């Protein structure tokens, strides 16, 4: 079962139904299927075939959807890349994936460096013409040619690169089976979504969450509405105009949309299901949101690029188990183990392992692209190491305690940085915070907090330290606190803790900073 064949089946069954909406374009399933076949014919004419990688470096638009499915029709593997990446990040992905073709939309600095470093890759430009590149519009006008049936073993669909917060990004190979199992069958059953829904994408289609909504809609036969760029007011207007029923978001998006929803809740009356992932969803924020939209059913879930969905928390459980990531989705096996691989007791923290049958067949990735050793380290007997420290209660609800690599060992105590960060974020003067560990001569490691202040506030290291001390045990309190204008983040907005560790090591070595922060 493959994604392009599922979409073609929708085009046969519902030819006149609108499949895709993006700004002023409204494309039926019949027309979308025809466009995909023409683009696939053009790519085939230029040599793209089964197993070849095609880097798609585009912002949201109709073209990215067409290219995904055209590549799938040829058995090629899509490497989606957000346009927010730096030249260095993009070049790493291209060097690692060795693409047959690179698709881009403007000859900016990022893409120039990459094209120069990959002279053998075919260049495809969307928009303005670029010397030496094939214009995307030419592909769209290609003459239809028969596409040979693909081998049943040709199942790799996408290489999704991890965010790289703890090292160089690795390419997770996601198969057609992974995507259809997760986003068609499992999501439909767990979330109650269907072909009758209108799905809204506000995030990059090149990112896992945006691609997930694309997969939901196209596999189930729904209507996908794609926003070029997220804007709170425009999002609410789009929900109203397109009668959106399913919306995926993170709590940050909820915070940004809340004032607009408060101004006119009726504009969001069509919403019936909201799926939330990412950081913990504050209870008070949930209450405000659901009070404005009482007909919305909220479900939150825990997922990873390499693993797919692991757990979910239903609408009814949102307040009774607010800090939980939910219980495992039926069919998903989980274990929580200590460093020796032994299952820990209920309530004790350990690394979360996940297994969903044979890797690549259900929801767990097939492996890391071109990295057999790292794949072998990550997956053993089907169990994949998530790198997350979790614990379970007696009712099998799971709780994420911390990232394993972010744990600080100080004076023999395990200090989970997420707990300290959550304490910091309860301070109204703090907009965001990140906690890392640095070497300490006495305790082995010491806790360091980097704090972004709220606009108009003036927290001090002493006031921050005092605040945390009132919420957590003394040994968890940051020994060093640094007030910063902003935390370093990657292109997806995740805090780069590796960079913070390096910065912290330099800062704490100076007596001046140590005195101010102790």
Q: What is the mean pLDDT of residues 480-484?
A: 94
- CATH number of the domain that 470 lies in? 3.30.300.30
Work out the mean pLDDT of the chain and round it to a whole number: 91
Is 471 part of any domain?
A: yes
Q: Which of 271, 279, 273, 203 is nearest to 243 (CA)?
A: 271
What letter does residue 426 receive in the DSSP assignment?
T
Q: What is the mean pLDDT of residues 372-390?
A: 93
Is 91 part of any domain?
A: no
The counts of H helices and E strands in the chain are: 17, 27
Measured CA to CA, the distance from residue 386 to residue 124 in angstroms comes to: 36
Other beta carbons within 10 Å of 408:
24
More confident residue, 442 or 55: 55
Is 461 part of any domain?
A: yes
Q: Domain range for residue 498?
A: 407-517
Say if residues 12 and 116 touch (Cβ distance below 8 Å): no
Lowest mean per-residue pLDDT among 10-14, 106-110, 503-507: 106-110
- pTM, full prediction: 0.84
- Confidence bin at 167 (pLDDT 50/70/90): low
pLDDT in tens, 256-279: 899 999 999 999 999 999 998 866
Say if residues 479 and 446 touch (Cβ distance below 8 Å): yes
Is 76 part of any domain?
A: no
Residues with Cβ within 8 Å of residue 150, at least 6 apart in sequence: 2, 50, 75
Is 306 part of any domain?
A: no
Is 217 part of any domain?
A: no
Is 454 part of any domain?
A: yes
Share of the chain above pLDDT 90, in %: 69
Provide the H-helix boundaries in 46-160.
Answer: 62-73, 87-97, 109-117, 136-140
Alpha carbon 124 to its chain centroid, in Å, reads 26
Is 341 part of any domain?
A: no
Domains of the chain: total: 1
* pLDDT of 34 higher than 50: yes
3-state secondary structure of 443: coil
Lowest mean per-residue pLDDT among 276-290, 374-388, 481-495: 276-290
């Amino acid at each position: 079962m493959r994604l392009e064949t599922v979409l073609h089946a929708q085009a046969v069954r519902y030819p006149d139904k609108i499949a895709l909406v993006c700004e002023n374009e409204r494309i039926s399933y019949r027309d979308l299927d025809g466009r995909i076949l023409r683009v696939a014919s053009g790519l085939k004419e230029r040599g793209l075939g089964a197993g070849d990688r095609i880097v798609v470096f585009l912002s949201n638009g109709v073209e990215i959807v067409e290219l995904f499915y055209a590549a799938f029709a040829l058995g090629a593997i899509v490497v989606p890349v957000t346009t927010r990446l730096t030249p260095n990040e993009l070049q790493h992905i291209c060097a690692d994936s060795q693409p047959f073709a690179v698709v881009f939309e403007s000859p900016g600095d990022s893409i120039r460096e990459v094209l120069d470093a990959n002279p053998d890759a075919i260049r495809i430009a969307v928009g303005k013409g670029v010397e030496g590149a094939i214009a995307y519009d030419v592909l769209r006008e290609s003459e239809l040619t028969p596409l040979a049936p693909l081998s049943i073993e040709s199942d790799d669909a996408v290489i999704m690169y991890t965010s790289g917060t703890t090292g160089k990004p690795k390419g997770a190979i996601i198969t057609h089976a992974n995507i259809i199992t997760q986003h068609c069958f499992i999501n439909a059953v767990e979330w109650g979504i269907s072909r009758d829904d209108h799905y809204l994408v506000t995030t990059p289609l090149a990112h896992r969450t945006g691609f997930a909504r694309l997969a939901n809609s196209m596999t189930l036969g729904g209507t996908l509405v794609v926003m070029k760029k997220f804007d709170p007011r425009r999002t609410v207007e789009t929900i109203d105009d397109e009668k959106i029923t399913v919306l995926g978001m993170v709590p940050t998006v909820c915070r940004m949309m809340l004032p607009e929803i408060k101004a006119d809740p009726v504009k969001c009356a069509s919403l019936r299901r909201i799926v939330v992932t990412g950081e913990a969803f504050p209870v008070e924020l949930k209450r405000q949101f659901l009070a404005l939209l009482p007909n919305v059913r909220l479900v939150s879930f825990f997922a990873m690029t390499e693993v797919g969905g692991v757990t979910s928390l239903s609408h009814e459980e949102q307040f009774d188990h607010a800090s939980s990531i939910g219980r495992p989705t039926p069919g998903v096996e989980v274990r929580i183990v200590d460093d020796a691989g032994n299952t820990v007791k209920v309530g004790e923290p350990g690394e979360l392992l996940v297994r969903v049958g044979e890797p690549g067949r259900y929801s767990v990735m097939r492996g890391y692209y071109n990295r057999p050793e790292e794949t072998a380290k990550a997956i053993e007997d089907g169990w994949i190491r998530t790198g997350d420290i979790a614990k379970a209660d007696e009712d099998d609800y799971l709780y994420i305690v911390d990232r394993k690599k972010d744990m600080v060992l100080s004076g023999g105590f395990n200090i989970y940085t997420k707990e300290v960060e959550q304490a910091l974020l309860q301070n109204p003067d703090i907009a965001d915070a990140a906690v890392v560990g640095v070497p300490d001569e006495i305790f082995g490691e010491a806790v360091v907090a980097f704090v972004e202040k709220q606009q108009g506030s003036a927290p001090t290291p002493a006031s921050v330290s005092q605040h945390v001390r009132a919420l957590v045990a003394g040994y968890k309190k940051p020994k060093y606190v640094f007030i910063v204008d902003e935390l370093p983040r990657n292109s997806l907005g995740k805090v780069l803790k590796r960079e913070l560790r390096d910065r912290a090591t330099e800062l704490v070595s100076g007596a001046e900073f140590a005195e101010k922060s102790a």
